[in-house]
Amino acid sequence: MKILVVLPNWLGDAIMATPAIELLAKYYPSAKFTFVGSFVSIEALKYHPLCENAVIDNTKNEGNRFVATYKLAKKLGVFNMAITFRNQIHSSLLLRLTGTVLCIAKSSWHSRLLLSHTPEISSNQHLSIQYAKLAMINTDEWDTEVPNLALYIEKEKFTRPTLGINAGATYGSAKRWYPEKFAQVAQEFSKDYDILIFGGPSEVEMAKEIEDNLVALHVENFTNIAGKTNIQQLCAKIGGCSLFITNDSGPMHVAAAYQVPTVAIFGPTKHKETSQWMNEKSKIVRHEMDCSPCMKRECPLKHHECMTTITAEEVIQAVKELDI
């Protein structure tokens, strides 16, 4: 059973699609997956034991994306089934151009025009549930129980309990709590945990601010690895943490996949749709605002009160309530 899976672009969204992939693997015991996706989504999911091919989708960078999509489809060939977790015309076109008969995508004008199965999936539920229902729509288990997130990268083993701090959020500044507040939380737990500061290449400066604040608070047992890890290393190191404090971000979902106790700070996003899926020890810290969730990359009102009003003391208390 050859199954083509077009993954979401964002790291967190790709990880939230893993329960759907696990359901497909369970329903079709002979399944062999071909994953197509962004660099980050492929790097995270290509280790799945049933993945026989992983292809980075670079069609957006080609001169004519429609022509590039056609070429990619012909290179991939025909599958027994194809599904896209993207709601985007080029992904619908990719599935159609492979020549695959059974093609699944969430309902949209382009998917209805091009593909065989295009269900209406309510967005008023967790994204992992949305993806799972989409994957199972052609089966008798479309409303089955949705399993945990799944990553197949072996987690790192640290010699001491380790607190991971992730102040970044690739989507935009509106999702980011503040470096000095992360440092205050880290100081509170520095006697019990070594501290590991995470961050992507664009978040090195923010991580350095946390580092500077920790130095000012006389904390010494920290390591700043922002901008120094690839996706595999990022997942392995997060998986090895004993505690993780983070914004709503891809690394938050990595922590959930490894069941790392996590406190996540939410601001402008829909926490009911993108919170830590089935992480048994997790807490969300957020303030209900008249303007939230705005889903904007930057605060449109310029006050960012959904984040500025959250205190370090609230996050510290949430950690203590995890009872770890």
Annotate 233-287 with three-state secondary structure. HHHHHHHCCCEEEEECCHHHHHHHHCCCCEEEECCCCCHHHHCCCCCCCEEEECC
Average pLDDT, whole number, for the chain? 92
Coil, strand or helix: which one is 15? helix
**Would 151 be classed as within a structural domain?**
no
- Residues 311, 184, single domain; the answer is yes
pLDDT of residue 289: 61
Domain assignment present for residue 74? The answer is yes
Residue 169 and residue 296 in one domain = yes
Nearest partner of 40 among 176, 278, 233, judged by Cα: 233
Q: Residue 263: CB partners within 8 Å, gap ≥ 6?
A: 244, 245, 246, 282, 283, 284, 285, 315, 318, 319, 322
d(CA 111, CA 71) in angstroms, rounded, equals 19
Confidence of residue 323 (pLDDT cuts 50, 70, 90): confident
Distance from C-alpha of 41 to C-alpha of 320, rounded to nearest angstrom? 33
Cβ pair 234, 198 in contact under 8 A: yes
292 lies in some domain: yes
Task: Give residues with Cβ within 8 angstroms of 34, minimum separation 6.
Answer: 2, 3, 4, 5, 51, 52, 53, 54, 55, 76, 79
- Tell me the residue range of the domain where 56 lies: 2-135
User: pLDDT value at position 310?
Assistant: 85
- pLDDT beyond 60 at 35: yes
pLDDT score of 117? 97
pLDDT score recorded for residue 142: 72
Question: Domain for residue 142, yes or no?
Answer: no
Bridge partners of residue 198, in order along the sequence? 166
**Are 217 and 288 in a shared domain?**
yes
With a cut of 60, say whether residue 302 has pLDDT above it. Answer: no
What pLDDT sits at residue 202? 87
Whether residues 85 and 222 fall in one domain = no
> 126, 124, 121, 104: which is closest to 24 by C-alpha?
104
- Regarding whether 214 and 85 lie in a shared domain, the answer is no
**The pLDDT value given to residue 173:** 55
For residues 78-106, b (16+ Cβ closer than 10 Å) or e, as one string?
A: ebebbbbbbbbbbbbbbbbbbebeebbbb
Mean pLDDT for 244-254 is: 95
Write down which residue in 135, 154, 185 finishes a domain.
135
- The CATH number given to whatever domain includes residue 12 is 3.40.50.2000
pLDDT value at residue 20: 98
Q: Determine the average pLDDT of the residues in 39-63.
A: 97
What whole-number distance in Å separates Cα of residue 313 and Cα of residue 289? Answer: 19
pLDDT tens-digit series, residues 80-131? 999 999 999 999 999 999 999 999 999 999 999 999 999 999 999 999 999 9
Question: Looking at the 3D structure of the chain, how many domains does it have?
Answer: 2
Rg of the Cα trace of the chain? 20
> What gap in Å lies between CA 313 and CA 217, rounded to an integer?
16
pLDDT category, 270, cuts 50, 70, 90?
A: low
Mean per-residue pLDDT, 26-47: 97
> Which pLDDT band, with edges at 50, 70 and 90, does 294 fall under?
low
Residues 182 and 299 grouped into a single domain: yes
Between 92-106, 171-185, 289-303, the lowest mean confidence (pLDDT) is in 289-303
276 Ramachandran zone, left/alpha/beta (phi>0; psi -120 to 50): beta
Q: Which of 298, 270, 299 is nearest to 284 (CA)?
A: 270
The answer as to whether 147 is a domain residue is no
Q: Which of 116, 135, 154 is the last residue of a domain?
A: 135
Q: What is the number of other CB atoms lying within 10 angstroms of the CB of residue 123?
A: 10
Q: Looking at the structure, do residues 15 and 98 belong to the same domain, yes or no?
A: yes
CA 301 from chain centre, in angstroms, equals 27
Does some domain include residue 152? no
- The reply to whether 111 and 205 lie within a common domain is no
Confidence of residue 254 (pLDDT cuts 50, 70, 90): very high
Among 267, 233, 74, smallest CA distance to 164 is for 233
pLDDT exceeds cutoff 80 at 175: no
Alpha helices (runs of H) in 77-123, residue ranges in sequence order: 89-97, 109-114
101 in the same domain as 202: no
121 with 184, same domain? no
Same domain, 98 and 225: no
Regarding beta strands 243-247 and 222-224, do their DSSP bridges make them parallel or antiparallel, or are they unpaired? Answer: unpaired
pLDDT at residue 174 greater than cutoff 70: no
155 assigned to some structural domain:
no
Return the percentage of the chain with pLDDT > 90, whole number: 80
- Tokens at 324, concatenated: 């770890």
Residues 118 and 167 in one domain: no
What does the pLDDT read at residue 273? 86
